[in-house]
Amino acid sequence: MAERTFCTMCDEDISRGGALLAKKMQFRLVAMGQRPLSIIRSDSTKKSRIIYEAAMKARIGSEEDRADFKRWIDAMELYGDAMEAG
């Protein structure tokens, strides 16, 4: 059985996110009148790279699986860059 790792949490403390949003009462803010708006942004590409590097180091998955995942990460990075550029 493969060992599960939680390396996505290694580089940042995300445990207080919900408490911080609750403290700011952001769930009550209504930017668009009666339509609630929530914008959630994360750096999933960065987190995916951390997972990829851990998999490479631990030799988890086949070479083909890791290559596919790397191509997916690269595509996500290009997509993210395009979205930020507008």
Question: CA 41, 60, 54 angle in degrees (round to 5)?
Answer: 45
8: CB partners within 8 A, 6+ apart: 47, 50, 51
pLDDT-based confidence at 2, cuts 50/70/90? very low
pLDDT recorded at residue 8: 44
Domain ranges within the chain, ordered by starting residue: 17-85
- What global pTM score does this model have? 0.50
* C-alpha span between 19 and 54 (Å, rounded): 29
Overall average pLDDT of the 5-9 stretch: 44
Tell me what the pLDDT averaged over the chain comes to.
75
pLDDT recorded at residue 1: 42
Q: Which range, of 7-11, 22-26, 58-62, 67-71, averages the lowest pLDDT?
A: 7-11
